[in-house]
Structure 1
């Protein structure tokens, strides 16, 4: 399945049976370079928080008390996200007031496509925890990080200036999450529960 330019899809991060992050994204391209997505400041996103306000950065998700997805407003930067096919990272371009401000590389499993978007699994340094990484997987993630560093050092795509002059279409509205986008994974119909993947809304 190929997503069409202009289509709004849902990008999710999964951790075991928990959905930890949900973000509506506008498709700019879906081609051999990867899936290129746009998310402007002022748009919705949701992150997993517990009853005490902890996120998965403070606690492993299995230790969170009454975790739920909280819908928030993305602030500070507009972002362009490239998810290259079959690789264990995504590249984010940050823009403030329409001016390129820097890159960010997120280490993650290669994404899985769904009819309404993509899901992926974020890398975290909790090696050995059953919901996170074993040593072999952690070594593979570190190797991917080293590979990306080499791309950055030599200025190879996508770190060659590509998209640094990107300007969004001023007619595009901010993006909103539909109510069903924050449904817990265990309440998704069995046919759509991914192992780890994108979705269209």
Structure 2
């Protein structure tokens, strides 16, 4: 596998088995412990075309088209972020950056992650954690997580317990101020030679 910094990969985000977004990212670093990738705000991407005012996570899988929703070209609307994806872990940790690359805190995304060549396929586990720069933290989307528990398109009660346990283990790292919450990478700046990645080809796998 090519581990050259700057290599363009594809971050594919699935909710309830349906593709929500496909965004090109750049590889920052890959080691046995995991990899770091950079997602830049405004990057050309693909997203699911949904009825106005709705989000894929709020549409029950049984109410979605069997073949998935169509995809439309767009640009990543959120801020820039550095993703740490630990090997074998069911989470990733994001360093969030605002204007002028000001560090805004960490975001823990609980997920199942599978790599297929240059594709990083993410199955979202809904429950997440916000960690402020002072390392205070709070759970996010607990009600939505509970509502999805038991749905065969999402996770069982036992799986939900394991997902929350994964989050709790990451919280302990934040409380202790150990990596990735030790201040490392908070001043990250992408190399000036890195241009915004182009929009990738239309994803061929809208369903997991």
Which TM bucket (shorter chain)? 0.7 to 0.9
In 2, the alpha carbon distance for the partners of 1:134 and 1:3 equals 36
Higher relative contact order (CA 8 A, sep 6+): 1
The reply to whether residue 12 of structure 1 matches residue 12 of structure 2 is yes
> Aligned residue for 2:195?
173
Task: Work out whether 1:130 is the aligned partner of 2:152.
Answer: yes
Three-state SS of the structure 2 residue aligned to 1:138 is helix
2:89 aligns with: 87
- Cα offsets for 1:91-148 (capped at 9, x unmatched): 1111121221111110001x22112221121003101111101111100000001111
Deviation string 1:53-93 (CA, Å, 9 cap, x unpaired) is 52223212332357223332223521111111011100111
Within-5 A mapping of 1:72-111 = 72-96=74-98, 97-109=100-112, 111=113
Q: CA RMSD in A?
A: 2.1
**CA distance, structure 1, for counterparts of residue 14 and residue 79 of structure 2:** 24
Establish whether residue 160 from structure 1 lines up as the match of residue 162 from structure 2.
no
Tell me the SS of whatever aligns to 2:166: helix
Of the structure 1 ranges 154-163 and 17-26, higher mean CA displacement relative to structure 2 is found in 17-26
Does the CA contact (< 8 Å) of 1:94 and 1:103 recur in 2? yes
Tell me the equivalent position of 1:71.
Answer: 73
Q: Which moved more, 1:72-81 or 1:146-155?
A: 72-81
Which runs of at least 4 in structure 1 moved beyond 6 Å after TM superposition? Answer: none
* Partners of 1:39 and 1:78 within 8 A in 2: yes
User: Aligned pair count?
Assistant: 185
TM-score normalized by the length of structure 1 = 0.82
Q: Who is 1:199 aligned against?
A: none
Residues 144-199 of structure 1 show CA distances to partners (whole Å, capped at 9, x for unaligned) of 0111111100101000001001111122111222233x33436xxxxxxxx6xxxx
Structure 1 spans left out of the alignment, 5+ residues: 187-194, 196-201
More strand by share: 2
> Could you tell me whether the CA contact under 8 Å between 2:11 and 2:22 is conserved in 1?
yes
